Chains A and B, each alone.
Chain A
């Protein structure tokens, strides 16, 4: 069992390392971030440097989350489309084990990137003589959890749908979309429009908001941490809640993806 898991885990890491598409995507994204940040690097004051640090951390966290989605999309869809899984499942390696190792390998890469981002942000704090804030660790952990959530959701969609359609569904079918839609419905209702259709739509968006995956659970509760890099004692518990939410989401996505993987024709 351990040998099988290790074999698949290593194989997936080799895949990530050799994927030119992922490498190209990472390079383009990092280049864009660098170009957008470069002018502000010449700032002199401590406050300006702090703001740059916050901006860099935010950009890199955004990159990590997008990269997590790309990893999940690639590892699932490329193996399915190349039909190479028939070489795996005609050995004593179950779909459950393969899927678990694929998830684990992608999460390991995201963990490595998150640690790198944290080390870089700590290094910049030292270089610019800024006090090291606990918010850096908090936002790194929060982003890691959010990235894992994104990863498992995209992996599930990639298992069920064509990769291009999977991306569209992930972009549309998430809590932010339905929250925005519900907000607009409520605004219209408060402006005096009280048609039945509007009320039905508002309720529908509300329930869709409740069931659609959230990329950053409790974002509204911890938004000040990102901008100030200060964490109050009570804010750490939201990290635990986010972790709990992502674990449940991961378990759900894993089970549905496994069901789909077992039903697929690997021929």
Chain B
């Protein structure tokens, strides 16, 4: 669906300012049907990467292919593409209904009033259809962006920090809508800082650092089981073994990690002290763990690619 190869994007700050390398040899691949997430620190180049994929920026060098074409402003490629920007840079002078109709009609087909009404109804915007966008909350504006995807069946959806600034209730609704769009067969490319959210939604992840993809893999591979550690949770009555690491006490329950070789010691301790064990399972690395390990460990792109290839 999307293939980029050694993409460089250099900006100059001002006319005579220093050159900034926003992308520094980014190579990634998004397959059809993926829910793909770009993650990285601030300034890693996530938004620039998305702008390049959308054709809003022309890379300094390297190649980008989206559905077999090079993205260009307003090209036919976008018949199957939708984009929700990070900041709601919408046509603020329009009402909710006008904006949904306008964005949907930009795909070149006639938009019926019924389809507009149905999408507004589905997203809970029907009662706000006459409200100007300038007076809408960010969540409502994001829903306006989503409504166009519901009217026009999108094959590829780009989301730039979609849940930033949204309240938890709206985030949950939004997540469900994205899952629905993905279930319909759309490929979704999203960038976000919220790793827990990516864990809930994405099936493939690329980690960017300093404009370069340092790891790219299935989420399942990035959140593998750690076979060296067990996570245990038990009612402690004040006894915690010295080999328990990362212990956190919540009420009566102590949760922490124990090394594999001390598992039987822990079981013996539990038997002797009659501890109530709530959980004892192999520790699963979160995306956050993998992210920090890769960023701090400086795992190279080649390693990530090799790992991906080996597993596929």
Contact = CB atoms under 8 A, between A and B. Distances in A.
Interface of A: 1, 3-4, 6-8, 10-11, 14-15, 18-19, 82-84, 86-95, 97-98, 262, 265-267
Nearest to B89: A83
Chain B CB within 10 A, most for which of A11, A14, A266: A11
29 contacts: A3-B105, A4-B108, A6-B105, A8-B106, A11-B91, A11-B98, A11-B102, A15-B91, A82-B91, A84-B91, A86-B89, A87-B83, A87-B85, A87-B103, A89-B74, A90-B55, A90-B56, A90-B82, A90-B83, A91-B78, A91-B81, A92-B77, A93-B78, A94-B75, A95-B73, A97-B74, A266-B73, A267-B47, A267-B56
Contacts of B90: 84, 87
Contacts of A10: 102
A95 B72 CA distance: 10
Interface residues of B, number: 35
B287 interface: no
B47 to A, nearest CB: 8
Contacts of A94: 73-75
Contacts, number: 95
B75 to A, nearest CB: 7
Nearest to A10: B102
Interface in B90-138: 90-94, 98, 102-103, 105-110, 132
Contacts of B89: 82-84, 86-87
Contact of B56 (A8, A84, A89, A92): A89
Interface of B: 47, 51, 54-57, 73-79, 81-83, 85, 87, 89-94, 98, 102-103, 105-110, 132, 158
Contact of A91 (B94, B103, B110): B103
Given A87-B85, A265-B57, A267-B56, A92 B107 contact: yes
A98 B75 CA distance: 13
A262 B108 contact: no
Contacts of A6: 105
